[in-house]
Structure 1
């Protein structure tokens, strides 16, 4: 019995449930091990291998989430900041939401991995979270989900309605244009060019009026193109100009690996920036500065000169 063809979609599912790519990979490995040990008890007349694996993965996720705090983004914790010069102190006690490295696993439904939706899922109780993902994203029937959760189809449908309402209330259902869209690619390339040139006015012109900038693990976040631009002025004043960026994808969205200049002429990985483009402008940028994020995306910690340009 070969479980490997399901690994990618299971990692994506566990990521939606947990908000952590690293934990998702670990739980899928645990799911595979449990399935292998129980393979002699698998009943093909009751469920497909895929459905059976999702039942095991769901139980593993629900167990892992017992007593856990949700994984937020800074914008989910309070009001936007007003002081552009506020200390950039990481809140290392917060289990921050992590980005999903698209290139690591072949998972369908990339739009349903986008950061806003995954962040919205984290506000749901774990069982509602499972119902919403299993029904809406993965298209399991109410009866199948009821069997996976040990409940009734009526209870599943009720939980689904509550979950839909909660996600809509926190804004997780916003439309996001695909990263391969020509207009999106053009906007991202203009953003990269302006950032590498430290051209803050050009960057601001690419933003929506209410653009959001947030920077986990720093709990600060800012709203509005003016605040966004003023903060970038601060970044270039502190870290210098001559940055280098590489375009990737994360969560089915454009992402930028940002390398800050070093005194010796090289560049050091500063952050992975996940960008939301709507209506031809940048509406949100989430700047992940945790070194483990760079490792998950396979990004080198340092580059020499201008030579680093992974495949786009």
Structure 2
């Protein structure tokens, strides 16, 4: 690639990034409610965070093609999330149908979703997989978010009559399902090795655990590819980012979210969450330790193919940590003002 082409791509990347930051300035205040809505739809913190990220990305690209912004931004975001989620459910049904045609055993959709313990704070609004996607969305928007029939119709791109029908049918199906068995822990040995290397501050060992083709996400902020990029741009921040957190002169995360934090490198601990091992990063504060980051990995063989670091995901961190019963601190949605 020529130098001029590289320069043009760099300028384009900077322009897009600037537009993305402007988009977040307007729509980020709606993100907690968007995550909460996605959480009710998907019944899983992992899937809720993914759906939230996908919804914001879709909204950003759609807004770029609109002459005027939406008059009701929250309903518009809910519509984006609803459409994306319903499309996902439709693809799953089509896949299950094609498997049946090929002689594979049919797998009910509900078995694909991890069991969610019924905390009292969610009991009234928990929606079950026995509802169709549109029924579930309609009941959530009405009973949890208290939207009007007209607002629900706007969010679901349908009519108020269809919303009434979905509400009537959905409410009639709300029956508590039997608890599902937790999945067997996967990739435990690799995550244990990652945890040991993390606590030893051994960047070489951490890097050796990554595939050269691995994908590394700081969820919602950046994506890197390969062990080399992980070593240069992601792993040092995971190991030593506490120094910035404790520095009052740093102009990144708001000081109100960092006050009382110590520069001591975080301690990693493996916990089983919904049958899956994941890494909790415990940071030191004036009043003791608290989780500020969660790491999830996918393994190929004995090495990491995909690493997801949940740091700038306050709704997700709060959700998982409350379910685990551990103290936590949030970092906001981004590292820039």
Question: TM-score per shorter chain, which class?
Answer: 0.3 to 0.5
TM-score (norm 1): 0.44
Higher alpha-carbon Rg: 2
The structure where helix makes up a greater share of residues is 2
**Higher relative contact order, chain-length normalized (CA < 8 Å, sep 6+):** 1
TM-score (norm 2): 0.41
